A = this chain, B = another copy of it.
Amino acid sequence: MKQQLVFKALADGTRRDILRVLRSGSKSAGELSEEFSITKASLSHHLALLLSAELVRRERRGQQLIYSLNSSVAEEVMAILFGLFSHKEDS
């Protein structure tokens, strides 16, 4: 996991919102775009960043590209946060 990519990806509110929307189930790019007031092109840009951070997965279903959460990376992020904030002598 590339730490810098993950934290940059999480830094944007729209991208965090995308993750929240995907909590209720996988969605195509088009379905996702209905939830946001930005253009499909901008949304695609955000999805590309989430993908490169491996926070979401993508698979093609016919003409559609379906996006879904990749929860395993969340666990890694939390492990890093534990590392950032736990005092050294504590553990």
Contact = CB atoms under 8 A, between A and B. Distances in A.
Interface of A: 3-4, 7-8, 10-11, 13, 16, 19-20, 23-25, 69, 71, 73-74, 77-78, 81-89
A interface secondary structure, majority: helix
B86 A71 contact: yes
Given A8-B11, A19-B84, A23-B86, 8 more contacts: A10-B10, A10-B11, A23-B87, A69-B85, A71-B86, A73-B85, A78-B82, A81-B81
A4 B10 contact: no
Contacts of A11: 7-8, 10-11
A68 to B, nearest CB: 10
A4 B13 contact: yes
Task: Enumerate the 7 nearest inter-chain pairs by beta-carbon distance, A residue then B residue, closest first.
Answer: A74-B85, A11-B11, A19-B84, A71-B85, A24-B88, A23-B88, A7-B11
